[in-house]
Amino acid sequence: MPSVPSEASEAGRRFVVEADGGSRGNPGPAGYGAVVLDPTTGETLAEAAEFIGVATNNVAEYKGLIAGLRAARELDPAARVRVRMDSKLVVEQMSGRWKIKHPDMKPLAAEAGRILPPSQVTYEWIPRERNKHADRLANEAMDAGKRGQRWEPSASTADLSASADAAAARVVGDQAAGAARARAALAGAGAVTSEAQAEAGPASVVVPVPAGGAAGRGASASARVLPTPLPDKPVETASASVSSSATVGWGASADLGAPATFVLLRHGETALTPAKRFSGSGGTDPELSAVGRGQAERAAAAFAERGTIEVIVSSPLRRCRETAAAVAGRLGLDVHIEEGLRETDFGAWEGLTFAEVRARYPDDLDAWLASAKAAPTGGGESFATVARRVAAARDRLVAAHPRRTVLAVTHVTPIKTLVRLALGAPPESLFRMELSAASVSAVAYYGDGNASVRLLNDTGHLR
């Protein structure tokens, strides 16, 4: 009679697989990196990386996953594997929560699913800054490919760089989060730390690493522009709304965890945009122009490359829905309409330039410029009315998506209003901000009611 295997041998070993992939151009020269770790000691057990030629960011991420799972299988085919990736798309699709819509992704997902029995593999999303080991491997592979060379494990510096990063700083967050933690420390709450985690993906070159890790590290991770994506575990608060009376400054209480981050994308150009004509929600609802469609595609490519967006919401107006659809098509996400994000109704001023309004309705224009409570001629909306509508939409979205990164495709006035409210600035500040077509801004909302403006009118992706 055969002996009964022990529980440990029956279950196999446990590994953490961390993977990442990148594309410089999306599509463009692409590569991936993967690492297999001991979950108890953090020891690197195997590394893998490869330059894969011209591909999209998502293809590179899936190939990284495949290589990481293969590396784990070579170490122990009975192992239970925890995959950690900063690609929300891959994690949600492989977990079965999101449909796989893109034809290029379906065979890659199927291949990844066949490497190990599904019962042995679980998936976890992590922020990008906790995935530096795999990120560096992917960048090393792309750098090698640019030189016409194959990635060589002996030249890799990813492991020690990741170890140095983890030792140097375990608290991750923007300046507002750091300040909140400092306030907590001053109040006697103690240091707030966040365990550094990483994720890796598969590669065609799998290199077992001796105990102690590889020698020498120093490669830098690729630059990131958009706010860091955040875990989707809900924040338990008494109220989900963003309080306008929240205590700010060094005397404020500690924040209640990672924020909900709104990435605010203004729609692309329409035929009315170049002449700076009033174009609100009471006019003709114009479509994107050819220039605007190009801007939307470039924004979509940038968001796909960075991989930080988890949810997409849009104004109901056509120019925003078209811009949002371009991004959603690249990310494989759905677009949710939020009525509160529509543009101001400019009444009789719709379609006119500022000079034309000045000539036709000088008294009404002067009143509008002097007071947020004054409405445009002909029954349009005042900025005070718009602010109440936008604030209500903000509160709904913060409550629905705590700790998540939400792309909100909207208009000039709603974006300026969200920034103004986050800063606690007066209504006249709306006239002192510039927002270009298809520009990106960002605001983070914390559980204690505080907000932090992270970005304003960024157009780097359009150049």
Catalytically annotated residues:
267, 343
User: Do 34 and 49 touch, CB atoms closer than 8 A?
Assistant: yes
> What's the burial of 271, exposed, middle or buried (CB within 10 Å: 0-12/13-18/19+)?
middle
- Report residue 398 as tokens: 């913060």
Contacts for 36 with CB less than 8 Å, ≥ 6 apart: 15, 16, 17, 44, 45, 46, 47, 68, 71, 72, 75, 200
User: Do 440 and 299 touch, CB atoms closer than 8 A?
Assistant: yes
Q: What is the largest CA-CA distance in the chain?
A: 99
132-146 vs 57-75: helix crossing angle, rounded to 10:
110
User: Do 40 and 202 touch, CB atoms closer than 8 A?
Assistant: no
Query: The sheet that has 260-266: what strands, in order across it?
Result: 335-337, 311-314, 405-410, 260-266, 440-445, 451-458
Task: Give SS3 for 311.
Answer: strand
User: Do 17 and 201 touch, CB atoms closer than 8 A?
Assistant: yes
User: Do 131 and 83 touch, CB atoms closer than 8 A?
Assistant: no
Q: What are phi and psi of 102, to 5 degrees?
A: -75, 130
> What's the burial of 258, exposed, middle or buried (CB within 10 Å: 0-12/13-18/19+)?
buried
